[in-house]
């Protein structure tokens, strides 16, 4: 049973084009996903099963608040404060949401796939940056 | 598709190898080096790269489907099936296209596959969640895929070099 084809096992110049294409895609996505990133006056959008269940204006919170979210058999505790949000603990198996840590900029999000819960920060006032170049 | 006994056996061994590799890579503390959720080496991609070149797209497809189905069964998680299928099929489609180019080595093909795998998995996350929040991770995952893709390409390259000294893939 001969090989169908044998690959070139040493890097070739054209490989750099593939790497560049991947980088360009990453940069384009980063600009569109994070471009709106502003801090201050944030809103936390909480979704369960793809439906927005709660929208919290973080700047109007008098102090940090802990919300309990239950979905699909899992329980998450989300701490909301004026400077962002974080999942303190979760009963889900992989704990990716907890390890994501604290998020503080618009466009950032915490996702818990087992519970199908996401917390996304959006909106907010301008930050001190006038323009982003490059 | 008609398979000879040798082809069928090789497909079965490669499926088992891919399953073992994706299990073993859970024990690598990669998250210590790259503290991002969802970052994996994608060692099972070595099997897809190998099968694509050595056995052709038909058998590579069979191995991929068997690996994803069995992996989801072992994990007891049907959700995982969507993730591994979308990731694996995107990676294979892109690698099948890239490997047609004579100007690309196994590195370029593998990096393209790793990037496509991440795109497929993020697409699965978007579908599962019903919103676009997971897209936020994609640029980071794509950056990491340059390194993981090069690494799996290197590993697959070693495999092809080693095979030249055996009679396994000779007529």
Among B6-10, B62-66, B68-72, B163-167, the minimum mean pLDDT is found in B163-167
Q: What is the dihedral of CA A96, A101, A107, A112, to 10 degrees?
A: 30
Domain extent at residue A68: 43-122
pLDDT tens digit sequence for A96-114: 999 999 998 888 899 999 9
| Higher local confidence (pLDDT), B8 or A83 | B8
Q: Is residue B132 part of a domain?
A: yes
Residue A47 to residue A50: CA distance in whole angstroms:
6
**pLDDT of residue A36 exceeding 70:** no
Is B170 a member of any domain? Answer: no
Q: In chain A, how many domains are there?
A: 1
Give the separation between CA B3 and CA A54, rounded to whole angstroms: 55
Predicted confidence (pLDDT) at residue A128 exceeds the cutoff of 80:
no
Selected residue with higher pLDDT from A103 and A134: A103
Residues of A whose CB is below 8 A from B117 = none
Residue-number span of the structural domain to which B95 is assigned: 5-163
> Residue A15 domain-assigned?
no
| Stretch A10-32: mean pLDDT | 91
Interface test with A, best of B108, B149, B162 (most A CBs within 10 A): B108
Could B37 and A120 be called an inter-chain contact, meaning their C-beta atoms sit closer than 8 Å? no
Number of domains in chain B: 1
Average pLDDT, chain B: 89
The separation between the first and the last C-alpha atoms of chain A, rounded to the nearest angstrom, is: 52
* Residue A131 within a domain: no
Kindly report, residue by residue over B97-129, the tens digit of the pLDDT: 999 998 999 999 999 999 999 999 999 988 988
The three-state secondary structure class of B63 is helix
Q: What is the DSSP string of A47-70?
A: EETTEEEEEEEGGG-SS-EEEEEE
**CA closest to B166 among chain A residues:** A2
A107 assigned to some structural domain: yes
Per DSSP bridges, beta strands A43-48 and A117-122 are antiparallel
Q: Looking at residue A56, which CATH number applies to its domain?
A: 2.60.320.10
Predicted pLDDT at A129? 52
pTM: 0.71
Q: CATH number for the domain including B126?
A: 1.10.1760.20
């Amino acid at each position: 049973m001969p090989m169908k084809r044998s690959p070139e096992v040493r890097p070739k110049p054209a490989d750099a084009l593939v790497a560049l294409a991947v980088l360009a895609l990453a940069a384009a996505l980063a600009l569109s996903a994070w471009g709106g990133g502003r801090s201050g006056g944030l809103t936390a959008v909480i979704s369960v099963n793809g439906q927005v269940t709660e929208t919290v204006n973080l700047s109007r919170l008098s102090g940090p608040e802990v919300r309990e979210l239950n979905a699909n058999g899992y329980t998450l505790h989300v701490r909301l404060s004026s400077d962002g949000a974080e999942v303190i603990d979760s009963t889900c198996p992989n704990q990716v949401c907890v390890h994501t840590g604290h998020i503080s900029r618009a466009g950032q999000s915490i996702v818990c796939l087992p519970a199908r819960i996401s917390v996304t920060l959006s909106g907010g006032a301008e930050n001190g940056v006038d323009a982003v170049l490059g | 598709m008609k398979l000879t006994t040798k082809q069928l056996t090789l497909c079965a061994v490669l499926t088992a190898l891919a399953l073992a590799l994706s299990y073993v890579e859970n024990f690598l503390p990669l998250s210590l080096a790259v503290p991002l959720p969802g970052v994996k080496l994608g060692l099972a991609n070595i099997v897809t790269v190998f099968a694509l070149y050595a056995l052709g797209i038909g058998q590579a497809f069979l191995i991929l489907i068997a690996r994803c189905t069995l992996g989801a069964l072992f994990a007891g998680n049907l959700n995982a099936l969507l993730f591994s299928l979308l990731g694996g099929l995107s990676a294979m489609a892109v690698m099948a296209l890239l490997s047609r180019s004579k100007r690309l080595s196994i590195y370029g093909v593998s990096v393209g596959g790793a990037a496509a795998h991440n795109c497929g998995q993020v697409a699965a996350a978007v579908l599962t969640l019903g919103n676009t929040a997971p897209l936020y991770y994609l640029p980071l995952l794509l950056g990491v895929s340059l390194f993981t893709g090069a690494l799996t390409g290197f590993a697959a390259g070693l495999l092809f070099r080693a095979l030249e000294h055996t009679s396994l893939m000779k007529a």
